[in-house]
Amino acid sequence: MVDFSKWAAFTSQKTNRSLAGSRVFIEDENKENNNSNNINSGNNSNNSNVQKFLQNAQSWGIIPVNSKEDADFCVKICAKNLETTVDAPNLSGKDAIDYAQNHMPVMRTLLNNLQENGLNLEGVRIAVCLVLEPKTAVLLRELHAHGAIVGVFCGPDETDQRVADQLKKEGILVQANRDWSPEQTHEGALKLLDEIQPDIIIDDGASFARLASLERPQIAANLIGVAEETTSGVRAFEAMQKAGHLHYPVIAVNNSALKTDFDNRHGTGETCVTTMQQILGSECFENAKVTVVGYGPVGRGFALRIRALGAKVTICDTNPVQSLRAVFDGFEAKNLECAVKESNIIVSATGVRHTITLQNMQNMQENAILAVIGGIANEIALDEIPDFKPVVGTAQRKIQVPRGPQITLISEGDGTNYTTGGGNPIEIMDFSFAVQVSAVAYLLEHNGNKDGNKNGNKNNDNRLDSGIYQLPESSDNQIARIALAKRGYSASEANKNNGYKWDLTRFAEEANS
C-alpha cells in the first residue's frame, strides 16, 4: 500500500488539486469485483495499511467513497509507483490555464448569475496585483470575457512566466517578468497603473493600492474601491485608515468565511506542507520537532496536517486565546524563545514583519530548517543578516547566522507554497476568486455610475465612504451553495416556522404543560 505522506506530496504538487474536500477511492486491482465497499468504508480490519491511509486522509479532510466514478482520486493498493493523469507544473501556459479553468466552476457560475441579475462589467477597468499563476489567469480570463478591461502586475519571484506570456497573447495587459530587477519591478507596477487607470484594484498585501496612494494619488482619488485578498493587506489598510490616509472603500475579501476558512486553512495549510515535502523529501515531518509560529487559520491548517504525518508540533502565538485553542487541539504551546532551541523545523505563519528575529535565529539548532508560510517581506529578519541577498527560484540553501548556527532557509524566506510550489489548490482558489468577484460586484453596486458605468444607483444612496468593509453573509452563502451543488451536496433547509418568540421562556412553557 502506498504511504499517505508520499501520495499526498506527489498528488498535490503534480495536480495542484485540493486534497481537502476531495473524494478518494482505494482500488484493489487484485479483486474481480472492485467495488471495495469494505476497504473504503473503513471496515476492513485485516488491512492495517489501508486503514492508516484512510485515517490520515480523513484527518486532511479527504472523504473516502465506495465508487471509482464518484472519486476525485483513485489510489491503487498494490501500486509500486505513484502516478497521476496530469503533470500541471510542466504544461504549457495555455494548457495550464485551461486545466485550472476546467476545475473552477464556482467563480464562472457566480459571474454568470450576477450578470443575469444586472452586473455589467463592460468597460470597467480592473487592475489585479496577485501571484501570477494559472488560477489567477482564470480570474483574469473570466473578467475579460465579461467585458472588463483587465491588467495584471506581479513581482518576479511570484510570476509564472509561461502564464504571463499566454495572457499577453489573449489581449490582457501584463506587467510581470521573472527576470526583472527591483527597479524594473517598480517601473512595471507604475506602468500598469498608468496604462489601465483602474476603477477597481484587486490587491494582495495592499501593495498596489498603497503604491497608487503614494505615487499616483490622482488615480487613488478616482478609485471606485479595492478588493483585498490577504490578512497582511487588511492590516495595512487598517493602519492607513488609522493614520487618516485611506481615501477609498476597501472590501476585506480576506475576512470572508469562504476565504479564511478555506483558502487560509485548507489551501495554504495544505500546499505549504506538500511544497516543503517536495523540497525536503516526503517523510521530512516524520518524528520531526516542529515549531509553528502563529495559530491562525494558516498555522492551524499546517499544524494539523504535519501532525498526521508524524511530527511533534509546538505552537507559539502571542494571543493567549489562540495558544489555549492550540492546547485544546492537542498541541503544546510555548514561548518562541524556548521553542526554537528544541526544534528541527521552525515555520512562521503570521504575516507579521520580523516574527522570527535575529536573536531567534541565533538560538536555533545547527542545521535547523526555517520556512515562512505567512508571506510578507522580512517575516524572518533576513534584512538584519549582512550581505544576505535573496535569489529568485532558490528552494533551499544554507545561511550562516551571525554569531549563531548555520541553518537551512526555505524559499528565501518568502511564502513557500507560491514561490517554490504551485500555489494554493485550484478548487480552493475557485472559492477565493468567487469572493473577489462578489467584492467587485458589491463595489460597483454601491459606488458605480462612474464614467457612465451602468452599475449602482444614481442617487448615491448607500454609497460606501472610505473605509474597510466586509461582504454580507449572503454573499458567502451564495458561493457556498454553488460549490455544494457542483459537488453533488446541499445544505439543510431550516424550518421557517419554528415559533421563536422573545417572550416565550422555558418558565412559560413549563407553566402551560
Q: Comparing C-alpha atoms, which of 277, 295, 296, 303 is closest to residue 417?
A: 277
pLDDT, residue 38, reads 46
For residue 214, the SS3 value is: helix
- DSSP for residue 401: P
Q: Comparing C-alpha atoms, which of 428, 422, 435 is closest to residue 472?
A: 435
Decide if 358 contacts 365 (C-beta within 8 A).
no
Residue 105, annotated ligand binder? no
Q: Residue 392 — very low, low, confident or very high, per pLDDT cuts 50/70/90?
A: confident
pLDDT, residue 49, reads 84
C-alpha cell at 190: 507604475
- DSSP for residue 375: -
Residue 502 pLDDT more than 90?
Answer: no
Segment 47-67 shows an average pLDDT of: 92
Segment 97-126 shows an average pLDDT of: 97
Which has more confidence, 201 or 43?
201
DSSP 402-426: TTS-EEEEEGGGSBHHHHTS--S-H
Instruction: Write the Ramachandran bin of 393: left for phi over 0, alpha for psi from -120 to 50, otherwise beta.
Output: left
Q: Residue 85 — very low, low, confident or very high, per pLDDT cuts 50/70/90?
A: confident
Q: Comparing C-alpha atoms, which of 146, 217, 211, 145 is closest to residue 175?
A: 211
- DSSP for residue 62: P
Q: Residue 396 — very low, low, confident or very high, per pLDDT cuts 50/70/90?
A: very high
Segment 301-319 shows an average pLDDT of: 98
Decide if 274 contacts 13 (C-beta within 8 A).
yes
Decide if 231 contacts 252 (C-beta within 8 A).
no
pLDDT, residue 375, reads 74
Residue 11 forms beta bridges with which residues? Answer: none
State how far the Cα of 174 lies from the Cα of 191, in Å rounded to an integer: 10
Residue 124, annotated ligand binder? no
pLDDT, residue 393, reads 85
pTM over 0.85: yes
Rg of the Cα atoms in the chain:
24
Pairing of strands 406-410, 396-400: antiparallel
Residue 93, annotated ligand binder? no
State how far the Cα of 454 lies from the Cα of 373, in Å rounded to an integer: 41
Q: Comparing C-alpha atoms, which of 85, 91, 75 is closest to residue 162?
A: 91
Segment 326-346 shows an average pLDDT of: 98
Residue 404, annotated ligand binder? no
Q: Residue 47 — very low, low, confident or very high, per pLDDT cuts 50/70/90?
A: confident
Residue 296, annotated ligand binder? yes
State how far the Cα of 431 lies from the Cα of 262, in Å rounded to an integer: 8
User: Which residue type, as a one-letter code, is found at position 488?
Assistant: G
pLDDT, residue 507, reads 78
- Percent of residues, the chain, with pLDDT higher than 90: 81
Segment 308-323 shows an average pLDDT of: 98
State how far the Cα of 420 lies from the Cα of 27, in Å rounded to an integer: 32
Residues 6+ apart with CB under 8 A from 369: 280, 344, 345, 346, 407, 408, 410
C-alpha cell at 77: 493498493
Q: Residue 354 — very low, low, confident or very high, per pLDDT cuts 50/70/90?
A: very high
pLDDT, residue 511, reads 56
Q: What is the pLDDT of residues 212-235, one digit of tens each?
A: 999 999 999 999 999 999 988 999
CA 345, 232, 157, 257 torsion: positive or negative?
A: positive
Q: Residue 498 — very low, low, confident or very high, per pLDDT cuts 50/70/90?
A: low
Report the range out of 25-34, 254-263, 426-435 with the highest average pLDDT: 426-435
For residue 145, the SS3 value is: helix
Q: Residue 505 — very low, low, confident or very high, per pLDDT cuts 50/70/90?
A: confident
Residue 487, annotated ligand binder? no
Residue 36 pLDDT more than 50?
Answer: no
Torsions phi, psi for 91 (to 5 deg): -75, 160
State how far the Cα of 41 lies from the Cα of 39, in Å rounded to an integer: 6
Three-state secondary structure string covering 479-495: HHHHHHHHCCCCCCCCC
Residue 415, annotated ligand binder? no
Q: Residue 46 — very low, low, confident or very high, per pLDDT cuts 50/70/90?
A: very low
State how far the Cα of 404 lies from the Cα of 89, in Å rounded to an integer: 37
pLDDT, residue 453, reads 55
Q: C-alpha angle with apex 251: 245 to 255, nearest 5 degrees?
A: 115
pLDDT, residue 164, reads 98
Decide if 327 contacts 303 (C-beta within 8 A).
no
Decide if 213 contacts 247 (C-beta within 8 A).
yes
Residue 41 pLDDT more than 60?
Answer: no
CA 136, 138, 139, 145 torsion: positive or negative?
A: positive
By residue count, the chain amounts to 513
Residue 316 forms beta bridges with which residues? Answer: 293
Instruction: Please name the helix (run of DSSP H) or strand (run of DSSP E) that holds residue 201, with its range, or none.
Output: strand 200-203
pLDDT, residue 448, reads 85
Q: Residue 37 — very low, low, confident or very high, per pLDDT cuts 50/70/90?
A: very low
Q: Which domains does the chain have, with CATH numbers?
A: 4-76 (no CATH), 91-255+425-486 (3.40.50.1480), 266-419 (3.40.50.720)
pLDDT, residue 430, reads 98
Instruction: Please name the helix (run of DSSP H) or strand (run of DSSP E) that holds residue 153, with its range, or none.
Output: strand 149-154
Residue 457 pLDDT more than 80?
Answer: no
* Residue appearing with cell numbers 476585506: 252
- Look over the chain and give the mean of its residue pLDDT values, rounded to a whole number: 92
